[in-house]
């Protein structure tokens, strides 16, 4: 079987992990993004998903057997999210249709499938936890649903298989990514160590005390690739998390310990990172210059707003992934080790001191 992967969003936190694993497994890997960056084992493809002419030109002569969709564009309203992100997927499959080489397409979305979009996040009647794939959609407009509908329509029309993958918060490396808790916490801990400020949990008591889970980007990549080659996984949706559960009151001191600092005891008062880090960009630039770091712009490493949204939720979020387990997917990653592995890589790549 010809195995040529087109990864849409190949430089992002999810796409880069998928690209790395596919390249290691001997696939031909094409990485599509608006501004490609050098990636080992990946042939860059520069295109704008909102520009059909750009897509047609960029994809000319390419015959991907598999597509992995890991990108989206955030707009001011959910109506605009739906319009723009649906168009991106529709334009891609329209551009690929004349070639007729596609066998499988995987779409990565997330737990906002169960929790609602940004405008109605965690509001209204939510399904009970742990979230399961058979709980279906919420009765609310959601760009994830629009993305799925475009995928389903193209697959029905053109005869390829599909899979949908819903991670929880993803731990992985991607400079310039708008939703990156691992690197955000790494920069925050570094700043606390540098200044002597307390390492304060920014979120809610519900998150501090309740059970939760997360998704290592490598675990996501493993499931996405497994589904692409597993007949039983054809035309199925899957949750994907690491396989363990934890409480932040246990995890927070472990992260602090890795950086050689003490975690402040949480008193139940949320102290969002967006406020704690709002004046830290000049200090980070000084640290980067002194330590010879590769990225002096704190805004390209940290996304406090997104970490605040995750850690400030007033509800428990736990994910069931029995569906893929029953089909044979056995991947597992301990979440504390996922953080530690990321921190080591950030240090090796000179992104943190």
Instruction: Give catalytic residue positions.
Output: 112, 144
Q: What is the 3-state secondary structure (H, E, C) of the chain?
A: CCCEEEEECCCCCCHHHHHHHHHHCCCEEEEEECCCCCCCCEEEEECCCCCHHHHHHHHCCCCCCEEEECCCCCCCCHHHHHHHHHHHHHHHHHHHCCCCCCCEEEEECCCHHHHCCHHHCCCCCCCCCCECHHHCCCCCCCHHHHHHHHHHHHHHHHCCEEEEEEECCEECCCCCCCCCHHHHHHHHHHHHHHHCCCECCCCCHHHHHCEECCEEHHHHHHHHHHHHCCHHHCCEEEEECCCCCEEHHHHHHHHHHHCCCCECCCCCCCCCHHHHCCCCHHHHHHHHHHHCCCCCCHHHCCCHHHHHHHHCCCCCECECCHHHHHHCCCCCCCHHHHHHHHHHHHHHCCCCC
Pick from 98, 131, 119: nearest CA to 237: 131
Rounded Cα distance, 201 and 121, in Å = 21
Give Cα separations from 121 to 142, 275, 287 (angstroms): 10, 21, 36
Main-chain phi, psi angles of 173, to 5 degrees:
-110, 130
Rounded Cα distance, 14 and 313, in Å = 23
């Amino acid at each position: 079987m010809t195995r040529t992967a087109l990864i849409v969003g190949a430089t992002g936190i999810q796409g880069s992990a998928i690209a790395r694993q596919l390249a290691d497994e001997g696939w031909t890997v094409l990485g599509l993004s608006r501004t490609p960056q050098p990636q080992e084992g990946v042939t860059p493809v520069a295109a704008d998903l909102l520009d059909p002419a750009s897509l047609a030109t960029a994809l000319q002569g390419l015959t991907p057997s598999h597509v992995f969709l890991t990108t989206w564009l955030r707009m001011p309203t959910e109506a605009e999210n739906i319009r723009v992100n649906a168009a991106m997927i529709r334009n891609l499959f329209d551009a690929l249709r004349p070639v007729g080489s596609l066998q499988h397409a995987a779409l990565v979305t997330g737990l906002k499938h169960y929790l609602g979009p940004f405008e109605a996040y965690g509001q209204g009647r939510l399904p009970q936890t742990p979230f399961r794939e058979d709980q279906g959609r919420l009765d609310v407009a959601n760009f994830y649903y629009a993305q799925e509908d475009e995928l389903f329509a193209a697959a029905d029309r053109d005869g390829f298989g599909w899979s949908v993958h819903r991670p929880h918060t993803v731990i992985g490396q991607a400079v310039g990514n708008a939703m990156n808790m691992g690197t955000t916490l790494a920069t925050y801990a570094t700043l606390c160590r540098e200044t002597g400020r307390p390492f304060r949990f920014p979120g809610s008591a519900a998150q501090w005390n309740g059970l939760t889970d997360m998704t290592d980007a490598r675990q996501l990549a493993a499931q996405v690739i497994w589904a692409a080659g597993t007949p039983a996984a054809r035309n199925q949706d899957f949750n994907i998390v690491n396989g363990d559960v934890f409480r932040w009151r246990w995890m927070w001191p472990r992260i602090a310990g890795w950086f050689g600092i003490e975690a402040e005891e949480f008193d139940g008062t949320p102290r969002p990172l967006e406020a704690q880090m709002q004046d830290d960009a000049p200090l980070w630039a000084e640290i980067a210059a002194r330590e010879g770091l590769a990225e002096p712009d704190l805004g390209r490493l940290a996304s406090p707003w997104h970490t605040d949204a995750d850690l400030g939720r007033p509800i428990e979020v736990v994910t069931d992934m029995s569906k893929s387990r029953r089909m044979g997917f056995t991947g597992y990653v301990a979440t504390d080790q996922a953080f530690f592995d990321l921190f080591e890589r950030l240090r090796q790549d000179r992104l943190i001191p």
